[in-house]
């Protein structure tokens, strides 16, 4: 039986410690293809490159025994190029993204290049997991993450995943023996309170640097933010569907209240068949 094919990517760049840690686990379970940015691409979200060419070249950054490519584009570009060019028609059994330096819990999923790469793979029907470690140091020790990466890779390869979904996994910055386990939870309703710091460059031109603080106003105990604050690894099953399903029913009441401009609704009869010219007014 052939080994599973695992696509690995990230947003911190192909030389980041997190992707090396992720590859070390992926190699235990299957054949690995790495396609990652050639430089850091944090907070790129689901950006794709369309105004300039994207360059890809082989890389030995992860060792000679790993098939790896570095890409001049975004994390999503990496996944698209892997699927359309480098895989030669093969479909990965799993996509892993990360391990990211820093949290991608709560609203951060919308900004994260790590999770957007996993989301792009999930849009192609590939089971996907994005991993983030709440440690921002360049020399971070990722060893506390590895048991959870290993467990979830094995779980998904064994049990599969609903098409179009992905796991957003955040791991607290704690020693391995202080992590209390894994919790499956929902995304906290938290946000960034942002400010721009203004300064002036040597030529007298003003510039602005984005700063801010993360505010969690969600006090419930079933969220990723709560799990992380209490020493748990947080797993949020996520989707690309941004529909507000809670609002669908209440908003259906307005369906009949908005009419095309210039069309009468009263006393409808045989003469009320509308022409295409009239309908174009709406």
In a domain, 102, yes or no: yes
Bridge partners, 166 (sequence order):
128, 238
pLDDT at 111 exceeding the cut of 70: yes
Give the separation between CA 224 and CA 244, rounded to whole angstroms: 20
Assess if residue 132 is contained within a domain: yes
Instruction: Report which of residues 279 and 60 the model is more confident about.
Output: 60
E strands in the chain: 5-9, 31-37, 56-58, 67-71, 94-101, 128-133, 165-171, 182-184, 190-200, 206-216, 233-239
Give domain status of residue 258, yes or no: no
Number of separate domains in the chain: 1
Q: Say whether 24 counts as a known binding-site residue.
A: no
Residue 128 resides in a domain = yes
Q: Between these two residues, 220 and 129, which has the higher pLDDT value? A: 129
Are 57 and 69 a contacting pair, CB within 8 Å? Answer: yes
Q: How confident is the model at residue 270 (pLDDT cuts 50, 70, 90)?
A: very low
Residue 21: band (very low, low, confident or very high) from pLDDT cuts 50, 70, 90: very high
pLDDT greater than 90 at residue 141 = yes
The answer to whether the CB of 43 falls within 8 A of the CB of 17 is no
Residue 165 has pLDDT above 90, yes or no: no
Q: Would you say residue 207 lies in a domain?
A: no
> Where would I find the H helices in the chain?
17-29, 75-81, 113-123, 146-159, 224-229, 245-251, 276-279
Looking at residues 214-240, what average pLDDT do you find?
89
Token look-up 């983030």 returns 132
Q: Is 244 annotated as a binding residue?
A: no
CATH number, domain at 137? 3.40.1210.10
224 carries a ligand binding annotation: no
**Cβ(93)–Cβ(6) below 8 Å:** yes
pLDDT band with cut points at 50, 70 and 90 for residue 106: confident
Average pLDDT over residues 156-177: 92
| The predicted structure's pLDDT at residue 19 | 96
pLDDT of 1 strictly over 70: no
Instruction: Give the pLDDT confidence of 184-205 residue by residue, as tens digits.
Output: 999 888 777 778 889 999 999 9
- Confidence check: pLDDT of 129 > 70: yes
The predicted model scores a pTM of 0.83
Percent of the chain with pLDDT over 70: 90
32 within some domain: yes
In this structure, the number of other CB atoms found within 10 A of the CB of residue 150 comes to 15
Backbone dihedral angles phi then psi of residue 187, each to the nearest 5 degrees:
-70, 125
Residue 201 belongs to some domain of the structure: no
- 11 known member of a binding site: yes
**CA distances, 243 to each of 148, 246, 248, 278 (Å):** 31, 9, 9, 31
How many other β-carbons are positioned within 10 Å of the β-carbon of residue 215?
Answer: 12
**Mean pLDDT, range 51-66, rounded to an integer:** 92
Rg, C-alpha atoms of the chain:
23
- Residue 91's domain spans which residues? 5-190+220-246
Q: Does residue 263 carry a pLDDT above 70? A: no
pLDDT tier at 264 (50, 70, 90 boundaries)? low
The span from the CA of 170 to the CA of 224, in Å, is 8
The residue among 162 and 170 whose pLDDT is bigger is: 170
pLDDT at site 262:
55
Name the pLDDT band for 53 (thresholds 50, 70, 90).
very high
Q: Is residue 104 part of a domain?
A: yes
């Amino acid at each position: 039986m052939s080994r599973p094919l695992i696509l690995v990517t990230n947003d911190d760049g192909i030389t980041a410690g997190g992707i090396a840690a992720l590859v070390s686990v992926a190699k235990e379970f299957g054949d690995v293809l790495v396609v990652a940015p050639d430089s850091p691409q944090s907070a790129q979200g689901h950006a794709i490159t369309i105004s300039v060419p994207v360059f890809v070249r082989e890389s030995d950054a992860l060792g000679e025994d790993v098939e790896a490519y570095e890409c001049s584009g975004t994390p999503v570009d990496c996944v698209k190029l892997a699927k359309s060019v480098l895989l030669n028609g093969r479909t990965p059994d799993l996509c892993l993204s990360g391990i990211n330096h820093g949290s991608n819990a709560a609203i951060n999923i919308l900004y994260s290049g790590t999770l957007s790469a996993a989301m792009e793979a999930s849009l192609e029907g590939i089971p996907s997991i994005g991993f983030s470690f709440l440690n921002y140091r360049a020399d971070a020790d990722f060893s506390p993450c590895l048991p959870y990466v290993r467990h979830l890779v094995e779980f998904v390869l064994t049990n599969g995943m609903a098409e179009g979904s992905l796991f957003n996994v955040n791991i607290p910055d704690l020693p391995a023996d202080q992590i209390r386990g894994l919790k499956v939870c929902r995304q906290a309703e938290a946000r960034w309170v942002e400010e721009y710091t203004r300064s002036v460059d040597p030529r007298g031109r003003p510039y602005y640097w984005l700063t801010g603080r993360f505010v969690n106003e969600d006090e419930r105990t079933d969220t990723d933010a709560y799990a992380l604050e209490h020493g748990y690894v947080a797993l949020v099953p996520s989707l690309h569907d941004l529909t507000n399903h809670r609002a669908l029913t209440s908003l259906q009441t307005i369906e009949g209240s908005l009419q095309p401009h210039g069309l009468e609704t009263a006393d409808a009869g045989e003469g009320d068949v509308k022409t295409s010219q009239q309908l174009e007014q709406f």
